[in-house]
């Protein structure tokens, strides 16, 4: 059960990568942090590293509605509301493909996780988000999803983040009357399993804007793409 004072955040795909710094940033702001991981064991290892009584783990595979529903039902009994949902989980499986060679199955797989996963998680967790005062949904997007970032390469990932940006605008519109803001974040090129070791940004830099959006007193803008705490063009 979350107390009246302690805000609660769920971070999907949170057993490695940028999520670790998001979780740390939210813990520093006294949030109760729920790590969503498709492997419970990996999630528990990640939670142990965070070493805080305010961290817990839920099993969630955002590619599967049954799994998202199961995670919701498990948390619905434990928390009164969800103040922040960070749709962070994502895949980057395009190595060796361009827009002329990618097959349908890979396009479907990537959009299913990166776009539809964020939409479905938001839909399914809405009853808990609605119970919070001015809940926030933060979608992890990418510069690859910006119109100016599109090229022939990285095809399924680019399309998945382009459509995630579209979903951000649409969800923001749908949830405005409920005082729930929905924003997308481009973390830049971050040194993680996905970004690789040559990436110039740390996971803390990749987490900064999301933590800021989650913790500032009020978020005036919704349906925007953010980078380095500023609005960027879609």
Ligand X SMILES: NC(=O)c1ccc[n+]([C@@H]2O[C@H](COP(=O)([O-])OP(=O)(O)OC[C@H]3O[C@@H](n4cnc5c(N)ncnc54)[C@H](OP(=O)(O)O)[C@@H]3O)[C@@H](O)[C@H]2O)c1
Q: Which range binds ligand X by CB under 6 A, 3-11, 60-68, 97-105, 224-232? A: 60-68
96: left (phi over 0), alpha (psi -120 to 50) or beta: left
Interaction between residue 18 and ligand X (CB under 6 A): yes
132: left (phi over 0), alpha (psi -120 to 50) or beta: beta
Q: How far is the CB of 91 from ligand X (least distance, A)?
A: 5
> Please, which residue, 40 or 176, has the CB nearer to ligand X?
40
Strand 32-37: give its sheet, edge to edge: 55-59, 32-37, 8-11, 84-87, 136-140, 181-185, 225-227, 230-232
Do 208 and 230 touch, CB atoms closer than 8 A? no
* Given 24, 56, 88, 146, the residue binding ligand X (CB under 6 A): 88
Interaction between residue 136 and ligand X (CB under 6 A): no
Interaction between residue 43 and ligand X (CB under 6 A): no
HEC profile of 113-161: HHHHHHHHHHHHHHHHHCCCCCCEEEEECCHHHCHHHCCCECHHHHHHH
Site size for ligand X, by CB under 6 A?
A: 29
Is 157 an active-site residue?
A: yes
Interaction between residue 153 and ligand X (CB under 6 A): no
Residue with tokens 């996780």: 113
> Please, which residue, 43 or 223, has the CB nearer to ligand X?
43
* Given 45, 50, 63, 174, the residue binding ligand X (CB under 6 A): 63
CA distances, 131 to each of 52, 82, 90, 135, 210 (Å): 25, 7, 27, 8, 21
Q: Which range binds ligand X by CB under 6 A, 2-10, 25-33, 87-95, 126-134? A: 87-95
* Given 9, 71, 113, 213, the residue binding ligand X (CB under 6 A): 113
Catalogue the active-site residues.
157
Binding site for ligand X (CB under 6 A): 12-13, 15-19, 38-39, 42, 60-63, 88-91, 113, 140, 142, 187, 189-190, 192-195, 199
């Amino acid at each position: 059960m979350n107390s009246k004072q302690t805000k609660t955040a769920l971070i999907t795909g949170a057993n490695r990568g940028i999520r670790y710094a998001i979780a740390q940033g939210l813990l520093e702001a006294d949030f109760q942090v729920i790590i969503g991981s498709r492997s419970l064991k990996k999630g528990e290892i990640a939670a142990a590293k965070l070493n805080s009584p305010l961290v817990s783990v839920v099993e969630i595979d955002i590619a599967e509605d049954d799994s998202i529903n199961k995670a919701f039902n498990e948390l619905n009994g434990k928390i009164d509301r969800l103040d922040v949902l960070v749709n962070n989980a994502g895949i980057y499986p395009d190595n060796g493909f361009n827009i002329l060679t990618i097959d349908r199955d890979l396009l479907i797989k990537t959009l299913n996780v990166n776009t539809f996963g964020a939409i479905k998680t938001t839909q399914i967790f809405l009853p808990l988000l609605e119970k919070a005062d001015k809940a926030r949904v933060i979608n992890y997007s990418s510069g690859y999803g910006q119109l100016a970032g599109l090229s022939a390469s990285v095809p399924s990932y680019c399309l998945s983040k382009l459509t995630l940006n579209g979903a951000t605008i649409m969800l923001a519109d749908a949830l405005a009357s409920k005082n729930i803001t929905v924003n997308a974040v481009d973390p830049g090129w971050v040194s993680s399993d996905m970004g690789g070791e040559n990436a110039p940004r740390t996971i803390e830099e990749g987490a900064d804007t999301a933590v800021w959006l989650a913790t500032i007193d009020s978020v005036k803008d919704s349906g925007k793409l953010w980078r380095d705490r500023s609005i960027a063009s879609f």
